């Protein structure tokens, strides 16, 4: 038993799991973001005692609603689960009875309107509901969706309109009806709008602006930039709709029971959002600009690579990001970006990021500390030398 008495542990060392530096941003596959010590301590504190979950939810949801300037809030175990639960709530609301009491045929009759431009890998959470997804428009800019397209797609079976919210410049296709116009149609027809804004903070104002404009519910991932627990999600919205969410989600029986959210996550996300709304976001943006500018200066004389600043980043967030671009090298058996990613991953410490096309890699300051940024810069310098030497060697051979 003695070996289990140590409370200060390095679990990754115990397990032989490699720690990495995350230079990609809040990617879930590497653990999203890091919680603050204060949030970790809130979670530990929550874990130590039993409480009645319903009472804890009531208190936390009340506070989350207040600090995010919403009528109501709900903590789930992820943005994807939030999408499923808000969809289920919309179906229950449509029939005006508890979701668990509905026959499959009643669900199958329901429709959720979605722009083709908004289809994405996370919409499995909607597909699994068993409703009909009614697609409108095209995912391009030749013929953008019109208000009439949306009007005509709404029928007596429409339970909700799904909207993917992202600032221009992110990875989303064009072609959808503007958010404001979507809300106008929805309001006129009395249809709730459910917004997926999982990664759409920053800007912090999105926590209240999207619902403030009239969305019934807006979904955020707790484990991305909010820096809550990885397995947490936040839904904010109008009380009338959110009451249906509460009646459908954990700890009720029915579909919500599959999406258990622990007291540690409930408290952890509350703590994280508290910190997020009081953080100096403009100072952070200035810091990020400075880091990207420094990265550019570190390689300004390089013969084989250059640093490009992109804004907004690929998630559409108003934060600068760097792309380290290598001059096209001919005769390589693989894209240079794959090679550089592998060299970064194989280094010590191991660095994770993602490719920006065939000859570039992203360096996202959002998940890096100053010390880590320095390590990443130095490692790229080493890789630069290595590739430069090889290229010269290659030319000599010709
Ligand atoms: C990350 C993401 C999700 C899923 O968030 P989780 O909290 O990991 O479940 C859903 N939708 C979009 C658009 C996302 O970027």
> Does residue 286 share a domain with residue 251?
no
User: Do 93 and 80 share a structural domain?
Assistant: yes
Domain-ending residue, one of 277, 298, 329:
277
Tell me what pLDDT residue 107 has. Answer: 98
Quote the CA–CA distance of 215 and 183 in Å, as a whole number.
7
- Is the same domain home to 244 and 297? no
Beta strand residue intervals within the chain, DSSP E: 20-22, 72-76, 111-115, 132-136, 158-164, 193-196, 217-221, 233-237, 305-310, 321-326, 350-352, 360-363
State which of 114, 119, 224 you would mutate to test the pocket of ligand 1, scoring each by most atoms of that ligand within 8 A of its C-beta. 224
Distance of CA 385 from the midpoint of ligand 1 (Å)? 38
Q: What is the pLDDT of residue 330?
A: 67
Tens of pLDDT, residue by residue over 287-307, are: 999 999 999 999 999 999 999
At residue 383, the pLDDT reads: 96
Backbone angles phi, psi at 151, to 5 degrees: -50, -50
Q: Within 6 Å (CB) of ligand 1, which residues are found?
A: 28, 78-80, 122, 196, 198-199, 221, 223, 233
State pLDDT tens for residues 203-221: 999 999 999 999 999 999 9
Name the residue of 198, 233, 235 whose CB sits within 8 Å of the most ligand 1 atoms, as the mutation to test its pocket.
198
In the prediction, which pLDDT does 332 show? 75
Do 286 and 188 fall within a single domain? no
Tokens (6 digits) for 322: 């760097």
71 and 173 part of one domain: yes
Distance between Cα 397 and ligand 1 center (Å): 49
Residue 395: predicted pLDDT: 58
User: Coil, strand, or helix at residue 225?
Assistant: coil
Predicted pLDDT at 391: 76
pLDDT digit string (tens) for 335-366? 999 999 999 999 999 999 999 999 999 999 99
Q: Which atom of ligand 1 is nearest to the CA of 223?
A: 7
In the predicted model, is pLDDT for residue 33 greater than 60? yes
Ligand 1 centroid–CA 221 distance in Å is 6
The token duo for 94 is 């449509």
Mutate to test the pocket of ligand 1, among 199, 210, 235, 316 (most ligand atoms within 8 A of CB): 199
User: Domain check: are 216 and 311 in the same one?
Assistant: no
307 and 262 belong to one structural domain: no
Q: Which two tokens stand for residue 226?
A: 């909010």
Is the pLDDT assigned to residue 397 strictly greater than 60?
A: no
Give yes or no: residues 260 and 359 share one domain: no
Q: Which of 277, 306, 333 is the last residue of a domain?
A: 277
Task: Compute, in angstroms, the gap from residue 332 CA to the centroid of ligand 1.
Answer: 35
pLDDT value at residue 168: 79
Q: What is the number of structural domains in the chain?
A: 2
Are both 132 and 225 inside the same structural domain? yes
Residue 272 sits in which domain range? 50-277
Q: What's the pLDDT at 398?
A: 44
More confident call, 393 vs 313 = 313
Looking at the fold, whether 347 and 222 belong to one and the same domain comes out as no
Any idea what the CATH number is for the domain that residue 349 is in? 3.90.1150.180
């Amino acid at each position: 038993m003695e070996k289990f008495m140590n409370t200060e542990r390095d679990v990754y060392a115990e397990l032989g799991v490699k720690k990495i530096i995350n230079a990609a941003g809040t990617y879930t596959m590497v653990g999203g973001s890091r919680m603050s010590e204060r949030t970790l301590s809130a979670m530990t504190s929550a874990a130590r005692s039993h409480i009645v979950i319903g009472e804890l939810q009531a208190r936390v949801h009340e506070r989350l609603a207040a600090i995010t300037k919403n009528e109501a809030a709900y903590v789930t175990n992820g943005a994807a689960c939030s999408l499923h639960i808000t969809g289920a709530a919309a179906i229950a609301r449509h029939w005006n009875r508890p979701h668990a009491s509905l026959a499959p045929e009643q669900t199958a009759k329901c429709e959720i309107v979605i722009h083709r431009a908004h289809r994405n890998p996370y919409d499995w959470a909607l597909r699994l509901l068993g409703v009909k997804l009614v697609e409108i428009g095209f995912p391009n800019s030749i013929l953008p969706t019109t208000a009439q397209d949306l009007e005509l797609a709404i029928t007596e079976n429409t339970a909700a309109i799904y909207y993917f919210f992202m600032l221009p410049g992110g990875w989303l296709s064009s072609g959808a009806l503007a958010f404001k116009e979507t809300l106008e149609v929805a309001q006129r027809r009395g249809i709730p709008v459910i917004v997926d804004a999982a990664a759409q903070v920053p800007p912090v104002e999105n926590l209240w602006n999207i619902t403030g404009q009239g969305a019934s519910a807006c979904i955020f991932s707790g484990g991305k930039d909010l820096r809550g627990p990885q397995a947490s999600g936040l839904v904010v919205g109008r009380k009338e709709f959110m009451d249906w969410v509460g009646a459908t989600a954990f700890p009720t029986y029915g579909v919500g029971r599959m999406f258990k959210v622990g007291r540690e996550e409930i408290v952890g996300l509350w703590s994280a959002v508290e910190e997020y709304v009081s953080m100096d976001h403009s100072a952070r943006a200035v810091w990020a600009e400075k880091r990207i500018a420094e990265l550019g200066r570190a390689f300004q004389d390089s013969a084989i690579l250059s640093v490009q600043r992109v804004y907004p980043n690929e998630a559409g967030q108003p934060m600068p990001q760097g792309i380290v671009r290598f001059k096209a090298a001919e005769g390589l058996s693989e894209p240079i970006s794959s090679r550089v990613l592998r060299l970064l991953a194989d280094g010590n410490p191991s660095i994770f990021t993602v490719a920006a096309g065939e000859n570039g890699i992203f360096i996202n300051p959002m998940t890096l500390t100053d010390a880590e940024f320095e390590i990443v810069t130095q490692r790229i310098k080493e890789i630069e030398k290595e590739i430069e030497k090889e290229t010269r060697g290659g030319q000599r051979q010709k």
